């Protein structure tokens, strides 16, 4: 039976570089044509290249990833995918950063399987916990920055002179919102938001 070696690489955004993972897979070695790359969040498994990979692998093949969180960062999903690949598809997994997670060596007997499953559970938990900690630190950082007066998002466009007159013309039906925005040199959405915000302010 022919045994093929595949690799899977994931980075969270299109701006992130996959070089570090690719180098590790090449050194394994994984044939370059057998490496599947997704540049998407790890929040779920609805990823085009991962889906292609799952369709391609067959019993006896080997799947190589650099670290366990490349499969995903959710504890339950990582567990489910591990079982799908190793149990249902009959494919071995090698996690380069964690030699104990190598079902070629440790998954053929009861003790090896127990150790591999135990390590997997621990690492999956750690991966999810770290993700949640990162999100919490980001939230706390944003809140602290806001208290210091740091503003997030696009800077507000200053309201130009003549807004009141143009707004009155719009309210009286003399011009439409698109024309009002054109005269002010802003987008239609910006004009309507200004008009709405001013109405709310007048009512307070």
Which CATH number goes with the domain that contains 88?
3.40.50.1390
Clarify whether residues 19 and 65 are in a common domain.
Answer: yes
Give the lowest-confidence range in 47-56, 125-134, 190-199.
125-134
Letter string b/e over residues 123-148, b meaning 16 or more CB atoms within 10 A of that residue's CB:
bbeebbeebeeeeeeeeeeeeeeeee
- pTM greater than the 0.75 cutoff: no
* Helix or strand holding residue 164 (H, E): helix 163-171
- Does 99 fall in a domain? yes
- Does 70 share its domain with 171? no
DSSP annotation of 84 reads I
What kind and span of H or E run contains 37?
strand 35-39
Indicate left, alpha or beta for 173 from its phi (over 0: left) and psi (-120 to 50: alpha): left
**42 pLDDT higher than 90:** no
Query: What is the domain count for the chain?
Result: 2
Is residue 148 in a domain?
no
Does 26 lie in the same domain as 118? yes
Flag whether 54 is in a domain: yes
- Average the pLDDT over 185-191 and give the result: 86
Active site residues: 12
Q: Tell me which range, 22-26, 115-119, 187-191, is most confidently predicted by mean pLDDT.
A: 22-26
Residue 72: strand, helix, or coil: coil
In this structure, the answer to whether residues 99 and 182 fall within a common structural domain is no
Mutual angle of helices 163-171 and 188-203, in 10-degree steps: 90
Whether the pLDDT of residue 96 is over 80: the answer is yes
Whole-number pLDDT of residue 200? 47
Domain final residue pick, 112, 130, 148: 130
Helix and strand totals (H; E) in the chain: 8, 4
Position 140 in a domain: no
Q: Which domain holds residue 175?
A: 163-203
Domain membership of residue 155 (yes or no) is no
Per the CB < 8 A criterion, the answer to whether 12 and 42 are in contact is yes
Q: 136 in a domain, yes or no?
A: no
The C-alpha atoms of residue 127 and residue 81 are separated, in whole angstroms, by: 15
Q: Judge if 49 and 117 occupy the same domain.
A: yes
Between 26-35, 37-46, 79-88, 106-115, the lowest mean confidence (pLDDT) is in: 106-115
């Amino acid at each position: 039976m022919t045994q093929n070696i595949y690799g899977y690489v994931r980075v969270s955004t299109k701006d992130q570089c996959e070089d570090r993972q690719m180098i590790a897979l090449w050194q394994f070695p994984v044939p370059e044509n057998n490496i599947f790359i997704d540049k998407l969040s790890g929040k779920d498994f609805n990823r085009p290249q991962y889906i292609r990979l799952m369709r391609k692998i067959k019993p006896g093949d080997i799947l190589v990833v650099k670290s366990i969180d490349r499969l995903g960062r959710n504890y339950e999903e990582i567990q489910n995918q591990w079982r799908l690949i190793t149990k249902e598809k009959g494919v071995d997994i090698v996690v380069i950063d964690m030699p104990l997670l190598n079902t070629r060596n440790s998954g053929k007997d009861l003790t090896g399987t127990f150790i591999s499953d135990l390590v997997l559970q621990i690492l999956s938990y750690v991966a999810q916990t770290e993700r949640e900690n990162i999100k919490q630190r980001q939230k706390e950082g944003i809140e602290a920055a806001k208290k210091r007066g740091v503003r997030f998002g696009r800077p507000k466009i200053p309201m130009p002179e003549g807004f009141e007159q143009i707004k009155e013309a719009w309210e009286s039906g003399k011009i439409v919102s698109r024309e009002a925005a054109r005269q002010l040199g802003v987008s239609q959405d910006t004009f309507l938001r200004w008009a709405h915000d001013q109405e709310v302010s007048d009512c307070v």
